[in-house]
């Protein structure tokens, strides 16, 4: 059986499972569409939350980022995990106790302002649409490789699948589908990691293999990897090179951005009781840890395998080795078939710039010393000839590079799609709820019937899927880059207003409104300055390089500064404004009171 046929069977079976669940769990009311009728148990909700949370960025991109940058990109791992702890401890139980369906509804009621609710909707839409672009990018990458179609065709196939189970089932259908998707993605991530860990380190557990020793010389795996990449002129894999300030700000942006993500927050509205929200948060952390503790090993081992692929034809200098592989080998060797396959996607590419029949692989930036320069001059090289290696291919290509069985490769394909589609569905539900519940019912048509609101929710979901797919056709970067910007936007707008809404009785509607506006606008303007794409298709005002960043703060890190601005403006405006009404202050106090935690305010 060919690999393509095997991929088609495994992916097709997973899709049939998702659609079957959606038909079985079809939503028949707005309570089922928005919050699964608040009937999801803690363990199942924890698993669904983990799938909702572990997106294409976690499954596909995070290990790829770690693979190419090493220690410095562990910030993704620390920020996303730490942020979920913040969400579980500081926000989820209290928001569940408030008993609403959507994040903007909480903002509107807590700050007794329809304007605040609408601004909350705008912030949610900006964050969720930016985030969903990253998921659609992951869908396109996975489809283009494993079903041998173009990125755009893959996006439309993925959109059609999400349409089937998200529009039909709403939160009810999405919840049970996400449980199935979690099982698929965790199996798909773990099995190849175990295989590759055994190959490279002799250790069954990738987490232990990463720090173990299997080399006959007694050299630890990470030390081998450091030697391999530094010989090619790249910096040490385990060293820290980036700005410490930017690293701290970026980690913080990911943390508080995580805690402000609407599609994760609304998962906690689905459980029967507030105590169940706490329990489901704990279970979600367990399920998330099963993947996140493996990711550093997957990234490191993927980098080792990729680099070692180029090593058989290494050209040795006095203090330098240059990786090289012949074009003939690439075209004929079964062990390098993965290179030919991924080249067809456009995510991996090479060019024989000096016409010697070899593809040389080295770091141009690290090739300034005399021995390296001598080799380059002797070979007539004009630059690294492995010209394109997209971060997003590393997890997906890793089983092929390691020559794992075809069924493992097929499962990885299904897992990548499960991760991207589960998060996309959650984001689209958050968008749909904001439009139908907060804009249409909450503002434009307050007397709309429940059936009319349900239809509006489904229509807005369908439109959201269409918009997300169109935007995903031309993403601004690989999945985790795009997602990181979404976290910055959530950090600067939604997280501060939720924190102040729960823990401050002094912040009123004026402070909340101006805080959200200031935090979001400053962050968007900073991103616009260096990324441009967010507004006008790629035109940036300044080069997106560390030398041009304000105080060395990258666009993806600026969410932390935006959050500080949000808090400062909100408290400053509130200090010169009237205190919130007494009933609102009492409401805020009642949300945090422990007694009655077994029940919740009904909607």
**What are the pLDDT digits (tens) for 11-27?**
889 988 888 887 888 77
Determine the Cα–Cα distance for residues 552 and 546; give it in Å rounded to an integer: 6
- Tokens 């720090």 -> residue: 211
**What are the pLDDT digits (tens) for 395-416?**
888 888 888 888 998 998 898 8
**What are the pLDDT digits (tens) for 349-391?**
888 888 888 887 777 766 655 555 666 777 677 777 888 887 7
pLDDT at 313: 44
**What are the pLDDT digits (tens) for 109-146?**
999 999 999 999 999 988 888 788 777 777 777 777 77
Higher pLDDT: 320 or 269? It is 269
- Cβ(166)–Cβ(174) under 8 Å? yes
Higher pLDDT: 233 or 253? It is 253
Domains defined for the chain, CATH in brackets: 3-54+67-296+402-479 (1.20.1740), 311-385 (no CATH)
pLDDT at 483: 67
**What are the pLDDT digits (tens) for 17-55?**
888 887 888 777 888 888 788 888 999 999 999 888 787
Indicate the average pLDDT of the chain. Answer: 82
pLDDT tier for residue 317 given thresholds of 50, 70 and 90: very low
Determine the Cα–Cα distance for residues 168 and 434; give it in Å rounded to an integer: 18
Region 472-498: mean pLDDT is 75
pLDDT value at 478 more than 50: no
Higher pLDDT: 274 or 579? It is 579
Determine the Cα–Cα distance for residues 174 and 165; give it in Å rounded to an integer: 7
Region 147-165: mean pLDDT is 81
Region 487-506: mean pLDDT is 92
Q: Residue 323: beta bridge partners?
A: 361
pLDDT at 92: 83
Query: From residue 40, how far is each of 37, 50, 175, 270, 566 by CA, in Å?
Result: 8, 14, 8, 6, 34
- Number of residues that make up the chain: 603
Give the containing element (helix H, strand E) for 21.
Answer: helix 3-24
- Cβ(66)–Cβ(77) under 8 Å? yes
pLDDT at 539: 58
Region 342-354: mean pLDDT is 84
pLDDT at 311: 57
pLDDT at 315: 42
pLDDT at 430: 87
Q: Which of 188-197, 218-227, 360-369 is predicted least confidently? A: 360-369
Contacts of 214-222 with C-beta under 8 Å, sequence gap 24+, read 221/300, 221/304, 222/300
pLDDT value at 98 more than 70: yes
Which of 224-228, 242-246, 519-523 tops mean pLDDT? 519-523
pLDDT at 516: 96
pLDDT value at 491 more than 80: yes
Buried-state track 235-271, b at ≥16 Cβ within 10 A, e below 16: bebeeeebbeebbebbbbbbbbbbbbbbbbbbbbbbb
pLDDT at 267: 87
At residue 216, the 3 state secondary structure works out as coil
pLDDT at 187: 93
Higher pLDDT: 58 or 380? It is 58
pLDDT tier for residue 192 given thresholds of 50, 70 and 90: very high
Determine the Cα–Cα distance for residues 358 and 347; give it in Å rounded to an integer: 20
Determine the Cα–Cα distance for residues 481 and 546; give it in Å rounded to an integer: 16
Determine the Cα–Cα distance for residues 449 and 30; give it in Å rounded to an integer: 10
pLDDT at 3: 84
**What are the pLDDT digits (tens) for 531-589?**
765 444 455 666 777 788 888 888 888 999 999 999 999 999 999 999 999 999 988 88
Q: Which of 220-234, 281-295, 331-345, 472-486 is predicted least confidently? A: 472-486
């Amino acid at each position: 059986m060919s690999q393509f046929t095997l991929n088609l069977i495994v992916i097709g079976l997973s899709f049939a499972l998702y659609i079957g669940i959606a038909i079985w769990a079809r939503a028949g009311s707005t309570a089922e569409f928005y919050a699964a009728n608040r009937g999801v148990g803690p363990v199942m909700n924890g698993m669904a939350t983990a799938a909702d949370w572990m997106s294409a960025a976690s499954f596909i991109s995070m290990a790829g980022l770690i693979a190419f940058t090493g220690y410095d990109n562990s910030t993704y791992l620390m920020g996303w995990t730490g942020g979920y702890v913040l969400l579980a401890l500081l926000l989820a139980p209290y928001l569940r106790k408030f008993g609403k369906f959507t994040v903007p509804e909480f903002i509107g009621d807590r700050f007794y302002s329809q304007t605040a609710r609408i601004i909350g909707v705008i912030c949610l839409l900006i964050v969720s649409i930016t985030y969903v672009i990253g998921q659609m990018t992951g869908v396109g990458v996975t489809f283009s490789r494993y079903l041998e179609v173009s990125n755009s065709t893959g996006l439309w196939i993925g959109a059609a699948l999400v349409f089937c189970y998200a529009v039909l089932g709403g939160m009810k259908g999405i919840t049970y589908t996400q449980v199935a998707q979690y099982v698929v993605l965790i199996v798909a991530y773990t099995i190849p990691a175990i295989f590759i860990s055994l190959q490279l380190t002799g250790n069954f557990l990738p987490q232990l293999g990463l720090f173990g020793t299997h080399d006959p010389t007694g050299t630890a795996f990470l030390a081998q990897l450091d030697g391999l990449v530094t010989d090619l002129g790249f910096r040490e894999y385990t060293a820290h090179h980036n700005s410490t300030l930017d690293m701290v700000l970026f980690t913080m942006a990911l943390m508080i951005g995580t805690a402000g993500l609407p599609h994760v927050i609304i998962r906690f509205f689905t459980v029967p009781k507030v105590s169940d929200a706490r329990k489901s948060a704990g279970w979600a952390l367990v399920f998330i840890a099963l993947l996140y503790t493996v990711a550093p090993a997957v990234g490191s081992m993927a980098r080792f395998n990729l680099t070692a692929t180029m090593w058989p034809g290494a050209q040795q200098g006095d203090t330098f080795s240059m990786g090289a592989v012949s074009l003939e080998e690439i075209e004929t060797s079964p062990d390098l078939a993965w290179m030919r396959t991924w080249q067809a996607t456009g995510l991996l590419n090479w060019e024989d710039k000096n016409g010697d029949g070899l593809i040389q692989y080295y770091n141009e930036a690290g090739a300034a010393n005399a021995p390296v320069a001598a080799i380059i001059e002797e070979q007539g090289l004009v630059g690294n000839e492995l010209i394109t290696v997209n971060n997003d291919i590393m997890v997906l290509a890793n089983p092929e590079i390691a020559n794992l069985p075809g069924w493992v490769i097929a499962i990885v394909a299904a897992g990548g799609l499960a991760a991207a589609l589960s998060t996309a569905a959650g984001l689209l539900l958050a968008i749909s709820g904001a439009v139908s519940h907060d804009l249409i019912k909450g503002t434009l048509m307050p007397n709309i019937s429940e059936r009319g609101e349900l239809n509006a929710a489904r229509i807005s979901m369908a439109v959201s899927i269409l918009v997300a797919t169109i935007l995903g056709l031309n993403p601004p970067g690989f999945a985790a880059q795009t997602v990181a910007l979404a976290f910055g936007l959530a950090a600067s707008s939604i997280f501060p207003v939720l924190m102040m809404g729960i823990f401050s009785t002094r912040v009123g509607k004026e402070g909340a409104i101006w805080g959200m506006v200031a935090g979001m606008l400053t962050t968007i303007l900073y991103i616009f300055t260096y990324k441009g794409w967010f507004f006008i298709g790629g035109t940036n005002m300044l080069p997106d390089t560390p030398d041009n960043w304000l105080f060395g703060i990258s666009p993806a890190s600026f969410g932390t500064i935006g959050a500080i601005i949000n808090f400062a403006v909100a408290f400053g405006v509130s200090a010169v404004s009237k205190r919130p009404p007494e009933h609102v202050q009492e409401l805020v106090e009642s949300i945090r009171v422990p007694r009655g935690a077994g029940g919740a305010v009904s909607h």
